[in-house]
Amino acid sequence: MTANKIFEELNPPPRLMMGPGPVNVDPRVLNAMSMPLLGQFDPAFTEYMDEVMVLYRQIFQTENRWTFLIDGTARAAIETFMVSTIEPGDKVLVPVFGRFGHLLTEIAERCAADVEIIEVEWGEVFEPQQIEDAVKRVRPKIVAMCQGDTSTTVAQPLAEIGEICARYDALSYVDATASLVGMDLPVDNWKIDCVSVSLQKCLAGPPGIAPITFNDRVAEIVNRRKHIEKGIRPDGFEAAGGPMVSSNYFDLGMLMDYWSEARLNHHTEATSMLYAARECARVVLKEGLQPCFNRHALASKAMVAGLEGLGLTVFGDKSHKMPNVTGVYIPDGIDGDEGEMVRSEMLHDFGIEIGTSFGPLHGKIWRIGAMGYNCQKHNILTCLAALEATLRQHKVKMPAGGGVDAALAEYRAAGQ
């Protein structure tokens, strides 16, 4: 890299990001991020904070008072929930169906939980009965699981999970980073105690801030170990008896004080990221939640039809497929590093990014996303056309135009 290049203006190459996320940010969100900064206690800014809470209650379909933002990527919100609720030795049950179940396990272990996992093969999901049996046996304080796991492209049905957990007095936590607004997650109806996400998938925002919602059952546990930093502690405050949360940054009790009328100072809120989060929610709510789910579902149908129209095979249990990500087997004849060559040629020749895969699926499938702002007909068709052309260069035989034709037929059938 020459010194001169460093001093050139930032000019990222144009990309169509059709991987498992992050994806292209909605231009409205980019615009919001370029607005002037405000001080964190400026009344105009605290009003934006309040608006964010109102907007995300609608996004999460909840009445939860405690609905706000954690500064950091998706895992920042996971850590916040776990470090603030888990005390050493607490039992945590994690039903693992992909990479991000292992992430939940690891974070719980770092919080010194006694973690038990149950597993299904990557590409499958659990029957509610399997989860109930495990909860009955383990009697955990917390059951933590993903809704959609991008690593396997399948989504766990959750409608009964909150109820099961409540029956055995366990808290239910869901990481919906990969799925929120791409599919339904009515937090209150499904009685889920805490859900956290981030912006970089179906919410069409940048990585770096993580919306969270939790109910009074969680707040009560957090308040049992309530602590306030000495420098800002109000006169007469007595810390609660439980052990102090071992992270200052992720101490949910102090974050609740920051986001409530108390407005007790904690971190300096990430102003531009809050603007982004606010705009992401407004974009989705203007479209409407159901139309947004429908848009993702139709794109999924079109992508599956398109890939099959090219003679390719879609990965995983199709009845539980995430609408916003599609796994596809790398076709015969594309061996070893050639799968990665196909991905880099799509990027080089067409400016299109598709995803690789992890763990047992590495080298076997690619993951193609269509979510948020990118989840539009023309992007699906462009991606399929580029994939076909690239695979042809590698001598894969496929019906000419079969991908675009089949995907287009799905859109036409839906009147588009």
- Binding range to ligand PLP, per CB under 6 A, among 116-124, 142-150, 214-222, 298-306: 142-150
191-204 core/surface letters (b: 16 or more CB in 10 A; e: else): bbbbbbbbbbbbbb
State which residue, 207 or 242, has the beta carbon closest to ligand PLP: 207
Least separation in angstroms between residue 276's CB and ligand PLP is 14
Under the binding rule (CB under 6 A), the answer on residue 105 touching ligand PLP is no
Q: Is 379 an interacting residue with respect to ligand PLP (CB under 6 A)? A: no
Question: Does residue 275 interact with ligand PLP by CB under 6 A?
Answer: no
The residue (of 193 and 388) whose beta carbon lies closer to ligand PLP is 193
**Counting contacts by CB under 6 A, is residue 251 touching ligand PLP?**
no
Neighbours of 4 (CB within 10 A): 7
Nearest to 59 by CA among 161, 205, 237, 163: 205
Q: How far is the CB of 147 from ligand PLP (least distance, A)?
A: 8
Is 175 a residue that touches ligand PLP (CB under 6 A)?
Answer: yes
Is the separation of the CB atoms in 124 and 154 below 8 Å?
yes
Integer Rg of the chain from CA = 22
Distances (CA, A) of 238 to 179, 244, 264, 337: 40, 13, 15, 60
Q: Name which of 371 and 396 has its Cβ closer to ligand PLP.
A: 371
Choosing from 21, 140, 205, 339, the residue that interacts with ligand PLP (CB under 6 A) is 21
CA distance 238 to 83: 21
* Choice between 210 and 396, CB closer to ligand PLP: 210
Binding residues for ligand PLP, total number by CB under 6 A: 14
Residue 73 interacts with ligand PLP (CB under 6 A): yes or no: yes
Q: Which is nearer to ligand PLP, 64 or 200 (CB)?
A: 200
Beta-carbon contacts of residue 141 (< 8 Å; ≥ 6 apart): 85, 86, 90, 91, 92, 170, 171
Q: Is the peptide bond before 20 cis (omega within 30 degrees of 0)?
A: no
For residues 215 and 409, what is the distance between their CA atoms, to the nearest angstrom?
44
- As given in the structure block, the two tokens for residue 194 are 């805490």
- What mask, x for binding ligand PLP by CB under 6 A, covers residues 205 to 234? --x---------------------------
Q: Between 108 and 178, whose beta carbon lies closer to ligand PLP?
A: 178
Residue 74 in contact with ligand PLP, rule: CB under 6 A: yes
75 near ligand PLP, judged by CB under 6 A: yes
The CA-CA-CA angle for residues 313, 318, 322, to 5°, reads: 105
Q: Name which of 225, 220, 228, 255 is nearest 240 in CA terms.
A: 225
Which position among 178, 299, 383, 396 is part of the footprint of ligand PLP (CB under 6 A)? 178
Q: Is 177 in the site for ligand PLP (CB under 6 A)?
A: yes
- Among 66, 81, 100, 366, the residue binding ligand PLP under the rule CB under 6 A is 100
CA within 13 Å, CB half, 270: 18
At 337 the three-state DSSP class reads: coil
Nearest to 385 by CA among 346, 338, 358: 346
Part of the chain binding ligand PLP (CB under 6 A), chosen from 56-64, 70-78, 292-300, 387-395:
70-78
Stretch that binds ligand PLP, among 23-31, 172-180, 256-264, 359-367 (CB under 6 A): 172-180
Burial class (CB in 10 A: 0-12, 13-18, 19+), 362: exposed
Q: Which stretch binds ligand PLP (CB under 6 A): 136-144, 171-179, 259-267, 279-287?
A: 171-179
Interface with ligand PLP by CB under 6 A: which residues?
A: 21, 73-75, 100, 103, 146, 149-150, 175, 177-178, 198, 207
